[in-house]
Amino acid sequence: MEHQAEVLKERTKRFAVRVIRVVRSLPSGSEGRVIGHQLLRSGTSVAANYRAVCRARSRPEFLAKLAIVIEEADESVFWLELLVDAALVPESKLKDLQSEANQLVAIFNASRTTAKKHVQSAINNQQSTIPDKKAS
């Protein structure tokens, strides 16, 4: 798990750097500035918040922070799509970055699903070890 976390830390940081480079290349008009600012915030937030996930002190905190990462990654997908749909950037230039954003959403969604199952399993195990008051 430790190795996978380090891989994802590096991957999300590379994603953030790629987002920064895209934003630098956007047209200087108001559309480019506004969408670029939004993309910059969400894209860099993925990396920063994933680092916070890795420092979570409990499973509920882990799940809450992971939900933020998913939300920011999905928002990044939206802003990248909007850049293409508004014809501010050719799709060919963003295709790889869009793919990476979608992959990150999928990875973190799968992690959240797995972590939720572990939480539910732990709850069920705790409940099964509590003596039944009726049997007393």
Q: Are 64 and 29 in contact (CB under 8 A)?
A: no
The residue extents of the domains of the chain are 2-130
Mapped onto helix, strand or coil, the DSSP state of residue 29 is coil
Q: What's the CATH code, domain 2-130? A: 1.20.1440.60
Q: What is the pLDDT of residues 86-136, one digit of tens each?
A: 999 999 999 999 999 999 999 999 999 998 876 555 555 556 566 665 555
Q: Are 46 and 69 in contact (CB under 8 A)?
A: yes
Q: Do you know the residue count of the chain?
A: 136
**Which DSSP state fits 131?**
P
User: Who's near 115: CB < 8 A, 6+ residues apart?
Assistant: 59, 62, 63, 66
Q: Are 84 and 94 in contact (CB under 8 A)?
A: yes
Residue 53 CA to residue 75 CA, distance in Å, equals 18
Q: What is the pLDDT of residues 7-54, one digit of tens each?
A: 999 999 999 999 999 999 999 999 999 999 999 999 999 999 999 999
Residue 53 CA to residue 129 CA, distance in Å, equals 30
